[in-house]
Structure formats: C-alpha cells, structure tokens
Amino acid sequence: MKLSDFNYNLPQNFIAQKPTKPRDHCRLLILDRETGDIKHKKFFEISQFIKNGDVLVFNDSKVIPARLHGNKITGLPSVALAKEGGNVEILLIKKISSDTWEALLKNFKEKEFGKKIIIAKNFIASPEKNIDGGLWQIKFNQPAGGKDKNLDKLIYKYGQTPLPPYIKKMAKLSDYQTIYAKREGSVAAPTAGLHFTKKLLNSLKKQGAKLETITLHIGLGTFAPIKDNNIEKHKIHSEYAEISAKTAKAINKARSEGRRIIAVGTTSARTLEAFAMSTDNQQQTSNNKNKQKFRQSDDRQTGGILPFGKMWVDIFIKPGYKFKIVDGMITNFHLPETTLMILVSAFAGRPAGRHGRKNILKAYQEAINKKYKFFSFGDAMLII
C-alpha cells in the first residue's frame, strides 16, 4: 500500500487556529464503520451514541512546555558569546534520565558538535550524540530531582507550548491540554480529548458510561512524517505507555460481557492494541520494547486478555490489521499521508477494516464540503 493512497486536498483556511469555546461545542461527524453512513452533530451530543456500559478510554498524559530557544556558544557561556551564536530551537521529545533528553534541534548541524546551547543564565544544553538527522541526545546542566527540581522548573519557566507548525499563533499551554491530563511527559496533545468538558464527562457517567485512563507520552512515534511512499518501510519511534491494573480489569470485564471499548484518540487505541498484542505474542524484548513480529489474529474471538504494566509502544497500525480491543474511536481529522490517517483508515471499515480507507476519504471529503475545521484544534469524528 502506498503513502499517496492516504492523501487528500485541504484548503489552508480549513486548518483550525484556535480551540472551540466551549470545547464541547465543536462539530462532530459520526461515521458508521460497517455501512459508511455519516451523520453530523455537535460534540456535546456524543452521548446519543454512547451506550450504558460502554468503556471510554482516555490518555491522561500531560503536555509539557517542550519548545525551548537558545543560542549556540563555544567554550564558557557569556552574554557576548550568546549574542554571537546562531539561534537554536529545541523540541524535547523523550526523557532518557534526570538530565538527559532526546530532542529535535533546529539550526544545529552535526559539524557543530562540541558547541553548547545557552537558553538562559545557568540553563545550558549540551548536544552529546546525533541520533538521526535533527534528532539529538542532549544533556542539561540542571538535573531534575536536584534542589527544587531545578530542570523541571526551568523548562516550565522558559519553555513554550509545543504547538504544531500549522498553528501560527501561540496558544496558552492550558488551551493545548485536556481537562483530565495529570501525568507529565507529552510533547503534543492527545487532541481527541480536547473536546471534553467536566460537564460532558459527568453527563456520560450519569448515563452509565465507564471512564478509564491509560498513559502514552506522545513523541515522535505519533507525529514523525513518513518519508517513503512504501508505508511498509516506515518504522515508528517508541513511546512510553502504561496501563494500570484497574483499567485492564475494567476493560477485560467489559469485553467478557460484550460491552464496547471506545478509545478516545489514536494514542489510546495504539496503547490498547499494543498491550493486547504483547499478550498475544507472550514475550517482550529485553529492553521492554515490543519490536517482535506480532500475529494479527482477532483476539476478541480467541479470548485474549489485556494485560497491565509498562511498555515502550511502537506499533504501526495499517489497513488489514484486526483490532483486538477497540470497538469505537473518537478522533480528530488528521493530516494527509500520516500514520494517524493510516490508523483511522484501518479502523473505519468492518469487518476487518474492509473499505476503511474508502470510508475515511469519503468522510473527510464530506467534512470539507460541510466546512469542518481540521487538525489539533479542529472538529471531531466518532467512528463506531
């Protein structure tokens, strides 16, 4: 299957530049994955499509102000040297240790290895190793967990909201945060959850929906571009994920009783499926990354159990994949030719993803015709 199979044309003015207020008043497209039928609602009307006993699974990861700016320096830092050095943008991607991160560096070349990046007085990053292109391992001079957790405080003091490049105006971190976020670690928002309000969550609970959380800290695995037209050659960067014993128990009980599991966002869906696949395979690599080849059997028929624990997730879900846990998905409208567009195409048809890509492209064109807003701050879709 080719990357170009997942392309569509979107006018620039359809890209949302700010969130809807109130959040749950954005538009909602409902796609029937079996028939391809489409309905149009407001997001707060989603309760009409949620049944008593359905389990909604939210990603509770919290976005950090992961975008930093500094200047290249040689030798000891000084104001003069800082002014002379070129500007470098740092996008924190993955925490390696208390003072070391993987980060994307903009305007820092491999031949400049040995230079440091001064962000502020006594806040300096040292690129230690080039991993791949603009991806570097960097070490800060202020370790987290030290006095007053200095590094964490400095990141929050000098960091900016890590908005995607198609959003041109800076937004507050709170605008790019779900209301239930609690575990710090993401460098992009699980945007399907941005549409929920406390009022809507309470309403869903009152009508009998069960709300559970998982954690996946969003990094390159979610938003790195695919570079080859042959999507089989794309490898997803691993992202840290956790499922609690409570959540696993609730989902397994619901599945045994024939109740639906609805993933709020592609990150929740990927986490649930990756954990289910790790059980199906019954082994993990020594560094706890699930890089083994998984069987794509229908675990809902074979009676597999969702485990709990911690794992590095690098699952790439493509059309033909048979979902083991997820029965429904709440998601945003995604960029063309991305892993997210491919994932929803895999899910949007039934049985076994049949006509999924066709259904998604039809739904996206319908959304464009109806002037929906797209991407992170845009409108939503329920695939069920």
Angle at 222 between CA 96 and CA 266, to 5 degrees: 125
b (16+ CB within 10 A) / e for 254-266: bbeeebbbbbbbb
Q: Residue 281: what pLDDT?
A: 59
Q: Which of 57, 32, 50, 55 is nearest to 257 (CA)?
A: 55
70 close to 64: Cβ distance less than 8 angstroms: no
Domains of the chain with CATH codes: 3-63+172-383 (3.40.1780.10), 67-158 (2.40.10.240)
State the pTM of this model.
Answer: 0.90
Q: Residue 78: what pLDDT?
A: 56
Q: Residue 360: what pLDDT?
A: 98
Q: Residue 76: what pLDDT?
A: 62
d(CA 169, CA 292): 42
Angle at 98 between CA 93 and CA 103, to 5 degrees: 20
Q: Which of 380, 8, 6 is nearest to 194 (CA)?
A: 380
Segment 221-253, tens digit of pLDDT: 999 999 999 999 999 999 999 999 999 999 999
Q: Residue 116: what pLDDT?
A: 94
Segment 34-64, tens digit of pLDDT: 999 999 999 999 999 999 999 999 999 999 9
Q: How far is CA 44 from the centre of its chain?
A: 22
Residue 150 identity (one-letter amino acid)? N
Identify the segments of the chain with pLDDT beneath 70: 75-85, 142-149, 280-304, 352-353
Q: Please, what is the average pLDDT of the chain?
A: 90
d(CA 90, CA 107): 9
Q: Side by side, which strands form the sheet with 210-216?
A: 38-42, 27-31, 380-383, 328-332, 261-264, 55-59, 210-216, 239-243, 309-313
